[in-house]
Structure 1
Amino acid sequence: MKASTANFRLSNPIHFLALGFGSGLAPKAPGTFGTLAAVPLFLLMAPLNNTLYLSLLVIMSIAGIYICGKAAKDAGVPDHGAIVWDEFVGFLITMFLIPVTWQTLIVGFALFRFFDILKPWPISYIDKNCHGGLGIMLDDIVAGIAAWACMMLIFY
């Protein structure tokens, strides 16, 4: 049975961010819609210098531990599918230092979704054994790193 989204309020700033500006409320494949909603954010961040991009990424990751943990607690579900802030961060990791073209966007999107959905080891281990906000964030951070490594091999 699908977990209810009734306890989420987009008027709550924590829920708004956790739900990826509402993209996580998609009735099917919320993680995919969350990743898709991260593309415009990436396009806004792409022109930033590497230090600023990485700084924002670290801040978003650390804040995500609280954001995702609080939203999950409010929903009463340990890792509610509608919580997609972790997908935002994972996709932004995937695209770090990658030039912006339609090809890199498609490949980055596909690679991140591949690692996030299939969860090869160690992502599956983290997903099963790390809980709370840290657990919600960490498996997607590692999926993003794996996808980023593939992007570096493909495009460099």
Structure 2
Amino acid sequence: MNVERKKLTSEQRRTLLESPAGWLACGLGSGLAPVAQGTFGSLAALIPWWWLHRLGVPAYVAMLCIGFVIGVWACEIAGRRLRVDDHRSLVWDEFIGQWIALLPLQWLPFSWPMLAAGFVLFRLFDVSKPWPIGWVDRRVKGGFGVMIDDVIAGVFAAIVLALLGYLLAR
């Protein structure tokens, strides 16, 4: 299997949508956008995030962990069904990465600009893939590989967002 950046064929789309794992891996359909699938996945992730962020830190972190494990499973199955390790339509990793990026909003005062900053920071790290994100992306395969580079991008974005929040609060 390999990394695939081409559009899904109608057969691949059908194969992906036939299973619950495929639905989840494609971000409940957001990864089926004709362009910018990762961006659409990150935007779609904001809808459940709106409710998740109200749970408090322990429950939020628990949901991140559960979402990660389920994502590894779903992306592994979807990748096998598509015969591609990391097709661009598999965007559950963007959901988890985006939620990690927004983790500082659990303790920072909520504001729309900070939410937008968290979104942009995650997309910046996810797309540019600075070390070690790019290194991990190239070397780790399967469902875990799909998920882990976005987790790292989310951590980087969360650190920058927390620093930004700290600086703005001074």
For normalisation by structure 2, the TM-score amounts to 0.87
Is 2:80 the counterpart of 1:50?
no
Aligned residue among 24, 31, 44 for 1:17: 24
CA distance in 1, matches of 2:39, 2:97: 12
Q: Is the 8 A contact 2:67 2:96 kept in 1?
A: yes
> In the TM superposition, what are the counterparts of 1:53-92 in structure 2 within 5 Å?
53-92=60-99
Aligned residue among 114, 119, 134 for 2:124: 114
For normalisation by structure 1, the TM-score amounts to 0.95
Aligned residue pairs, count: 156
Aligned to 2:8: 4
Unaligned runs of 5+ in 1: none
CA distance in 2, matches of 1:68, 1:87: 12
Could you tell me how far 1:88 is from its partner in structure 2?
0.1
1:18-67 deviation line (CA, Å, top 9, x unaligned): 11110000010100000000011110101101100000101111111111
CA distance in 1, matches of 2:55, 2:72: 24
Unaligned runs of 5+ in 2: none
Q: Is the 8 A contact 1:46 1:100 kept in 2?
A: no
Aligned to 2:163: 153
Could you tell me how far 1:104 is from its partner in structure 2?
1.5
| Aligned amino acid, residue 52 of structure 1 | A
Computing the radius of gyration from Cα coordinates, the structure with the larger value is 2
Aligned residue among 5, 29, 32 for 2:39: 32
Aligned to 2:48: 41
